[in-house]
Amino acid sequence: MQILGTVNPLIIHVLSPYADKGANEKSLLLMQIFLALTGSLLLTISAKVQIPFYPVPMTMQTLVVLMIGMSYGAPLAALTIFLYLFQGAVGIPVFATGGGLAYMMGPTGGYLVGFFLSATLLGILASNGWGKTWQTTAVAMILGVGVIFAMGISWLAMFIGFKGAFINGFFPFIYADFLKIIIASFAMPAAWSVVHRILN
């Protein structure tokens, strides 16, 4: 039970109308499992769908990672990303172009590790009130994206050098990720405000 930790208070607040008032630890565990499975499914879908963008097509996977981190809280966000990575490790084609340990150890493996660290960091920041305004959300998102790029570029550099890693693993994606940060920064506080008003 402990590994699941506690759900972000917002998640409990959102789900409480649909749960029994006397919901016990088992029902909370089931809700956490449901959220983890849903999050891993969204990560898989977002990895497969490409949206035309300049200079390269983008996926929405980074945005999903950021949203999971900010809304789930650190324990559940970490569990969700771990579940996604575990599915890929055992060979389920959940990644952009496949699955398996060989894929994870390939040039883009660092970004996958970055997903886990980023979501966990954002969960910690959100639990400390960083998601209450679009400004603090933006700063948190920038830090989260920075972690993903730091891990991704560091690992990629072992294959093609740091210069090649920046050229191929940073510059083509920075514009799309900047757009994702803007979307998430404005969307999340607004969504939380709407949910809070509806439920109160």
The band of 200, judged by pLDDT with boundaries at 50, 70 and 90, is very low
The per-residue pLDDT for 47 is 92
The contacts of residue 153 (CB under 8 Å, 6+ apart) are 110, 162, 165, 166, 169, 170
Query: What is the SS3 assignment for 51?
Result: strand
Q: Where are the domains of the chain?
A: 2-199
- Does 2-199 carry CATH code 3.30.565.10? no
| Backbone phi, psi, residue 8, to 5° | -50, 135
pLDDT tens readout for residues 118-164 = 999 999 998 898 877 788 888 999 999 999 999 999 999 999 999 99
- Answer whether residue 184 shows pLDDT above 90: no
Residue 126 confidence (pLDDT): 87
pLDDT for 4:
39
- Segment 70-97 mean pLDDT: 92
CA atoms of 198 and 83, how far apart (whole Å): 32
